Amino acid sequence: MDQRVVECVPNFSEGRDKAKIKQITDAIQAVPHVTLLDLDPGADTNRTVVTFVGDPDSVAEAAFQAIAKAAQVLDMSQHHGEHPRMGATDVCPFVPISGVTMEDCAAIARRVGERVGRELDIPVYLYEAAASRPERKNLATIRKGEYERLAEKLRDPEWKPDFGPARFHAKAGATVIGAREFLIAFNVTLNTRDKALATDIAFELRERGRVARAATGSNYYSKGKILTYQENAYPCGNCDFIARTFVETVTHCRDKHDYDLENLLRLNDVDPSRPLAGQKVYRAGKFTHCKAIGWYVDEYRRAQISINLTNCKATPPHLVLEEARRLAALRGLVVTGSEVVGLIPYPALLEAGSYYLKAQGKSAFVPIPDVLQTAVFSMGLADVSPFDLRRKVIGLPREFDKGLVTMTVKDFTDEVSRDTPAPGGGSVAALAGALGSALASMLAILREGKTESATAAAGLLQAAEIAQRVKDQLVLAVDEDTNAFNAYMEARRLPANTEQEKTVRERQMQDGLKAAVRVPHQTARASFEGMQAAWTVVQHGNVSSITDGAVGAQVAYAGVRGGVWNVLINLKDITDAAFVHEMRDKCDGLLRDAHALLTQVVAHVDKRLAELIDKE
Ligand SMILES: [Zn+2]
């Protein structure tokens, strides 16, 4: 099962002709495992922004198909619009959402770019994290001159495309492909209608900061006299420090406030290499990758700090919110909540939930829906508009919305008891492993804050993390085991009339069998991790809960044993001797370790119980 999620946000140079736009989105949706999330056509810009997600390979395929379709149905020589552009598919960024790195997305960008150049003869430039050289990082730089001057640009050796011919493609123009971070549009709502108060906080938060002023004693910053650099007097904008030279102030800002003053000046359109006497002093904001302004929203009848976060890994929204809350309190204001415009990546919301749980002294290794709910409540995300996790969060793990795992315990037990071959021992083994891990998780969370020993606390924390992870994995395996034979059954239905058909059918059946072996093997491995977590909690738990841990280890052992049996029964029809041998070895080792661990747990628990009974 692939839980890796990549987002793709191509911009097409057509925002008016719905039929043409539909042809492009149809090409995207024709690719399996791709979900179209959003379509944003602009008539004035004559441009459409499309958002879709999926696993890396599917997203790469859909992006290529969309670029090919756009090259076929759009004609740049006829295009007019207000937005800068140079191609039918103007720009196509890949964005890591979960389970993938920026480098993975840059690799996808290069792969798609190479294919677009080779198969479609369209010049391709790589940008941002996929850029081939520093001067091609910035999209605006690459696009300078736009479509109208592209032919000229392609003749310049400096602008030889990264892929495709250095030859003008009149119909499709050129395409800029790359990888970048996710953009979060995040608004913090205040208990005021005064936009100026929101702006005062926004300027403290944003990377480019604001013009520095002399202190007035007010918490609002807009009143004091504007500071300027003088010959022999270079004040720091963030404290009272004044140096005799600019160089000293640069060093001071780096050492004391952790920012690059020259970069700050450039962000405010001041060239630091020129004489600075008479020039305004700037005060850096708190966060990098953060743009912010104040505005008033009529619909909410409140002012907001409107924030754009261009890298939520470096600057997570919950930390910006907490700083806004602090700054608001200093100014006699209250943050009533926050708002995500568009989508927020799942890992960012998960991180926020963990942050607030830890701040409350609670374990962050609780069921994922609880962590996410904590984030929504703590950030006040439903303050001014509804916040539906399924609609607002991108890359949410597959919901348990269908299949065996949505049944009641009674219905599932009845289903197993019926005279149908599935669900059978494999699904039951996975459920046993999940329940054993759940018991280990319960005890780990209960004991985590109560132990005095640092080693025990670290062990319990790790056990809690492992138990939650393998529990979720094993719950999914309940259905996966029942579906594991699908590929094999499909292969069996293939025709076998000719020798060639027979060969294809046999190979696909063998592949299906191998897939069917991997699911129970994963079940056995995950269940063993659940057993290890149970052993940790049995050692550090108190006597009253020791039997819960013992039950956890015992049923998780059933998960290991059951998984291994299901591997072995399916190995008998696999002809690849090396695969069979390797799998047998893995199972033998797993079984040996699990059996030894179970013996250890049982002996430990029985000894503790005997001591307890003797005492009474
Ligand atoms: Zn300073």
| C-alpha–C-alpha distance, residues 566 and 477, integer Å | 13
Closest C-alpha to 560, from 443, 474, 459, 444: 474
Helix (H, G, I), strand (E, B) or coil at 157: helix
* Mean model confidence pLDDT for the chain: 93
Of the candidates 415, 416, 430, 412, the one whose C-alpha atom is nearest the C-alpha of residue 567 is 430
Angle CA(582)–CA(584)–CA(588) in degrees, nearest 5? 120
**246 CA distance to ligand 1 centroid (A)?**
13
| DSSP type of residue 393 | E
The span from the CA of 562 to the CA of 461, in Å, is 28
d(CA 48, CA 89): 10
**How many Å lie between the centroid of ligand 1 and the Cα of residue 46?**
47
**Contact criterion met (CB below 8 Å) for 320 and 186:** yes
Q: Ligand 1 mean position to 284 CA, how many Å?
A: 10
H helices of 380-498, where?
389-392, 409-417, 425-448, 454-483, 486-492
In the predicted model, is pLDDT for residue 1 greater than 50? no
| Interval 158-168 mean pLDDT | 96
**Ligand 1 centroid vs 249 CA: distance in angstroms?**
8
Q: What is the amino acid identity at position 392?
A: K
Q: Which helix (H) or strand (E) holds 294?
A: strand 290-297
pLDDT digit string, tens, across residues 515-560: 889 999 999 999 999 999 999 999 987 777 889 999 999 999 999 9
Cα(253) to ligand 1 centroid in Å equals: 6
Confidence of residue 218 (pLDDT cuts 50, 70, 90): confident
251 C-alpha to ligand 1 centroid (Å): 10
Quick check: 110 pLDDT over 90? yes
**Which of 135, 156, 147 minimizes the C-alpha distance to 47?**
147
Confidence of residue 395 (pLDDT cuts 50, 70, 90): confident
- The whole-angstrom separation of Cα 221 and Cα 152 is 49
How confident is the model at residue 400, as a pLDDT?
Answer: 58
Distance 250 CA to ligand 1 centre (A): 10
> 321 C-alpha to center of ligand 1: Å?
24
Q: Could you give the CA distance from residue 541 to residue 142 in angstroms, rounded to a whole number?
A: 61
pLDDT at residue 257 above 80? yes
pLDDT digits (tens, 9 = 90+) for 321-352: 999 999 999 999 999 999 998 899 999 999 99
In tens, the pLDDT along 58-93 reads 999 999 999 999 999 999 999 998 888 999 999 999
DSSP per residue over 479-522, as a string? HHHHHTTHHHHHHHTS--SSHHHHHHHHHHHHHHHHHHHHHHHH
Residue 401 has a pLDDT of 62
Token pair 């963990």 in the structure block, residue: 354
Range in 34-43, 186-195, 318-327 the model is least confident about? 34-43
Ligand 1 centre to CA of 285 (Å) is 12
Q: How remote is the CA of residue 543 from the centroid of ligand 1, in Å?
A: 56
Q: What's the average model confidence in pLDDT over 174-199? A: 96
Q: Which residue's entry shows tokens 């280990």? A: 440
User: Tens digits of per-residue pLDDT, 464-479?
Assistant: 999 999 999 999 899 8
- Expressed in angstroms and rounded, the spacing between residue 283 Cα and the centre of ligand 1 is 9
Q: Return the bridge partners of 87, or none.
A: 173
Å from CA of 254 to ligand 1 middle: 9
Q: Which amino acid would we find at residue 20?
A: K
616: confidence class by pLDDT, cuts 50, 70, 90: low
pLDDT score recorded for residue 556:
98
**C-alpha–C-alpha distance, residues 584 and 590, integer Å:** 10
Summarize the confidence of residues 9-32 as an average pLDDT. 96
Q: Which residues are catalytic?
A: 83, 481
Buried b (16+ CB within 10 A) or exposed e, 364-375: bbbebeebbebb
Beta partners for residue 53, in sequence order: 7, 35
Q: What's the distance, Cα to Cα, between the start and end of the chain in Å?
A: 52
Q: With b meaning 16 or more CB within 10 Å and e meaning fewer, what string describes 207-237?
A: bbbbbbbeeeeeeebeeeeebebeeeebbbb
Report yes or no: 513 and 570 within 8 Å, Cβ to Cβ. yes
Q: What is the whole-number distance in angstroms between the Cα of residue 447 and the centre of ligand 1? A: 45
Among 398, 425, 596, 433, which Cα is nearest to 522's? Answer: 433
pLDDT surpassing 60 at residue 102: yes
Which residues does 62 contact at the CB level (< 8 Å), separation at least 6?
8, 27, 28, 31, 34, 52, 54
Instruction: Label each residue of 302-368 as H, E or C.
Output: EEEEEEEECCCCCCCHHHHHHHHHHHHHHCCCCEEEEEEECCEEHHHHHHHHHHHHHHCCCCCCCCH
Cα-to-centroid distance, 410 and ligand 1 (Å): 67
Do 211 and 283 touch, CB atoms closer than 8 A? yes
Q: DSSP labels for 19-56?
A: HHHHHHHHHHHTSTTEEEEEEEEETTTTEEEEEEEE-H
Whole-model pTM: value is: 0.80
- Please, are residues 317 and 186 in contact by the beta-carbon 8 Å criterion? yes
What is the predicted pLDDT for the residue at 331?
A: 95
For the residues 94-111, what does the mean pLDDT come to? 96
With a cut of 60, say whether residue 2 has pLDDT above it: no
Distance 257 CA to ligand 1 centre (A): 6
Give the pLDDT mean for 299-312. 93
Ligand 1 center–CA 204 separation, angstroms:
15
Neighbours of 450 (CB within 10 A): 12
3-class SS of residue 190: strand
